[in-house]
Amino acid sequence: MIVFPNIKINLGLSITEKRPDGYHNLETVFYPVALEDALEIRTLPEAEKKITLHQYGMEIAGNPEDNLVAKAYSLLDKEFHLPPVEIHLYKHIPSGAGLGGGSSDAAFMLKLLNNHFHLELSEDQLEIYAATLGADCAFFIKNKTTYAEGIGNIFSPIELSLKGYQIMIVKPDVFVSTREAFANIHPHHPEYPVKEVIRRPVAEWKDTLINDFEASVFPQHPVIGEIKQELYNQGAVYASMSGSGSSVFGLFVPESSLPEIDWKPDTFCFKGKL
Ligand SMILES: C[C@@](CO)(OP(=O)(O)O)[C@H](O)COP(=O)(O)OP(=O)(O)OC[C@H]1O[C@@H](n2ccc(N)nc2=O)[C@H](O)[C@@H]1O
Ligand SMILES: Nc1ncnc2c1ncn2[C@@H]1O[C@H](COP(=O)(O)OP(=O)(O)O)[C@@H](O)[C@H]1O
């Protein structure tokens, strides 16, 4: 059985408060985009190890046992005593990009195991498991445009379609740790709440739909801010860093053709249509 975990981009991201548990309350819109990994499992009834993980494509930092797909398996294995599996994970989604690639792999693994082994878990139950694996992991269970608050785990559906828009996602060879990005933030309530700005036409988002991480991350990694500026220079109607970085996305109006840009070596670039 094979599935294709996709990414999310953040449309606006306000960090409103630091909580007593060290986490931060935030407000954002998660929007799914079809840049995908591939994830396959096969049952290996006779295997000695519960998980045999084969990884291909882009490298991920860390040990295989720390891979979020292994953690997702272990979570359900504790409860349901699953048979051993062989996992094939093909990474197309860059890590440390603010695109939620690891969280998506984990959420899709939960869904895959649920279907493959007929565990009969509901979407609500899967979301509860997913939330224990990462703050934005539960989003990928329903995988629909979502307004998120709390630590990024309290969801409400939101009507928003960017269908037809063209998207370019660019990630320089820079790794931003989510934890460090939070450490440099001064939480505040936004002048223009994300939920309100998002209802306005995309052409009005440029100065009002803000990702608070940009103010803390751009000074440390100027190349990220330069990419955002270049996307605007090349005609993007809206451009922003996604999540805590380091990727930047640009939205271009539906009838336009995406520009050819010579990015620096080792820059990742994805072009697609929403
Ligand atoms: C903030 C977002 C917005 O999309 O950043 P990106 O990961 O997308 O860049 C996500 O919600 C992140 O989700 P995720 O990447 O799953 O975060 P986690 O692994 O749970 O947390 C990593 C670290 O970030 C900090 N953290 C995370 C979420 C939050 N609301 N407040 C925090 O302070 C904590 O220090 C935590 O140890
Ligand atoms: N399946 C996975 N894919 C990507 N990263 C993973 C995975 N499992 C664990 N990780 C770890 O999670 C970290 C964050 O990765 P990712 O979720 O892709 O980035 P981001 O949170 O910036 O979107 C990586 O540096 C890596 O160490």
- The predicted-structure confidence for 116-130, as pLDDT tens digits, reads as follows 999 999 999 999 999
Closest ligand to the CA of 93 = 2
Enter the pTM of the model: 0.95
SS3 readout for 41-87: EEECCCCCCCEEEEEEECCCCCCHHHCHHHHHHHHHHHHHCCCCEEE
Ligand 1 pocket residue status of 93, Cβ below 6 Å: no
The complex's ipTM works out to: 0.94
Closest CA to 134 of 178, 94, 93: 178
Look at 61-65, 142-146, 227-231 and tell me which has the smallest mean pLDDT.
61-65
CATH architecture entry for 166-273: 2-Layer Sandwich (3.30)
Question: Token pair for residue 65?
Answer: 């046992």
What is the CATH number that goes with domain 2-157?
A: 3.30.230.10
Closest ligand to the CA of 100 = 2
> Do the beta carbons of residue 243 and residue 95 sit within 8 Å?
no
Close Cβ partners of 196 (under 8 Å, ≥ 6 residues apart): none
Say how far apart CA 55 and CA 68 lie, in whole Å. Answer: 12
For the chain, residues classed under CATH 3.30.70.890 are 166-273
Q: Which of 37, 105, 136, 212 is catalytic?
A: 136
Sign of CA dihedral 151, 152, 158, 160: positive
Q: What does the pLDDT read at residue 179?
A: 85
